[in-house]
Amino acid sequence: MKLRHPLTLDTYEVRTDGTVLVKTPDGVDGIFRDNGEWVRGALREADPHLLGFIAGPQIKRGPRAPDVPTGGGSALPPQLSRHSRSENGGNREMDLGLEGRKAIVTAGSRGIGLSIAELLADQGCDIAICARGEEALQAARANLEARGAKVCTASLDVSDGDALEAFVQTAGEELGGVDIFVSNASAGGGPGLPAWEHAFEIDVMGTVRGIGAATPFLKASDAGSVVVIGSTAALEFLGMPQAYNAMKAALISHASDMAQALAPKGIRVNVVSPGPIYFEGGNWEMIKQAMPAMYESALQQCAIGRMGTPEEVARAVVFLASPAASLITGANLVADGGFTKRTAF
C-alpha cells in the first residue's frame, strides 16, 4: 500500500517486511516501523499516526450493518426541524433560550465548527467565526447571513495569540457582547517535536487565550458559556502516541479547572468530545479512500453501526452552550456512537 501525507505530501509505502518507506517530495527518505521507530535512512522523522494507520495491526471485530452515506452503519441520523407543533397547536420544541445571543466559534468555516455556527444561527444567535482560509470563510459568512444572523469574520491562525485575542475583542465589540465561546480549532496530528509544539499552540494555548479574551464579555452576560471541543482520542488509546491525544486530554483537564474558577463569575465551561465524525472533505473521508482497512476497523467499533455527523456534534455543543443547560458545568459530554468502551462514573 502506498499513501501520500495530506499535509507534507510525503509518500508512505509499506514494504514486504512490514516496515514503511517514507519519502519526501525532494527525494529524502527513511524507513520506519509501524510504532514510529526509525530504522534507517536520511529522513529520521515521520508521522507516527499515519505509520500506525498504514502498517499497524487492525482490530478485528464482528459483522456490521451495510454502508450508508454518513460513513456506514445501520441508520441515518434523525433529521430535526427547527419547529414542531403538537395537535393542539402548542410548540413542542425545547426553548434553548438562544434568541438574540452572541457566539464566537473558532475554526468555524467547515466541518464541526461550521455546523455549530449554523445551528447557533438557526437558534437566533449572531455569530463571529475565524479560520485560516479566506475563501471558505466568506462562503461560511454568506451561509450564516442567509440564516438571519449578524456575522463577523476574521482570517487568522489560532496559534497567533495576539491575532486571536484581537479577533475575540473585535467580535465582542461588533456583536455587542459575547454569551458563548466555542473553542474548536485543532492542529490535528503530525510527526516529530514540531507537531507537538504546533498542537500545543493551537489546541491548548488557543483555548487558553480564547477563554481569557472572552471572559470579560462572558462575565457581563447573564448566561456566559464556554464549550471546548475535545476528542475521544483523549480517553482511549488511538493507535499511536501522538500530540493530538495528549492535547485533547489537557483540554478536558483545563476545562474542568476553568469550570470551577469561572463559576463564581456566572460562566459555565464544558467539553464535548466527538468520536469518529464523517463528512465530505474531512479526515475520515480521506482515511476511507486511502486507508480502507483503518476506516473499516474504526467503523466497526461504532456501536450504533455508523460514524457521527458534524450536525450531531453541533446539537450536543449548542445544548451545552445554551441557557437550557444552566445546571451543567465541568462536564465532558462524549458524542461518539459508542466508539469508546470505557466505563465512566
- Which of the residues are catalytic? 244
Residue bearing cell 488557543:
206
For residues 104 and 116, the answer to whether their CB atoms sit within 8 Å is no
3-state secondary structure of 316: helix
* C-alpha–C-alpha distance, residues 71 and 42, integer Å: 39
154 contacts: CB under 8 Å, gap ≥ 6? 128, 130, 163, 167, 170, 171
- Concatenating the DSSP letter of every residue in 253-282 gives HHHHHHHHHHGGGTEEEEEEEE--B--TTS
User: Cell triple for residue 300?
Assistant: 466497526
State the amino acid at position 84 in one-letter form: S
User: Cell triple for residue 48?
Assistant: 507516527
Q: Kind of pairing, strands 332-335 and 267-274?
A: parallel
State the amino acid at position 216 in one-letter form: P
For residues 46 and 20, the answer to whether their CB atoms sit within 8 Å is yes
In the chain, what is the straight-line distance between the N-terminal and C-terminal CA atoms, in Å?
42
Q: Which residues pair with 105 in a beta bridge?
A: 129, 182
User: Cell triple for residue 93?
Assistant: 420544541
Q: 145-154 long-range CB contacts below 8 Å, 24 or more apart?
A: 147/118, 147/121, 147/122, 148/121, 148/124, 149/120, 149/121, 149/125, 150/126, 150/175, 151/121, 151/126, 151/127, 152/127, 152/128, 153/128, 153/129, 154/128, 154/130
* C-alpha–C-alpha distance, residues 279 and 63, integer Å: 23
Phi and psi, residue 18, nearest 5°? 90, -10
For residues 228 and 113, the answer to whether their CB atoms sit within 8 Å is no
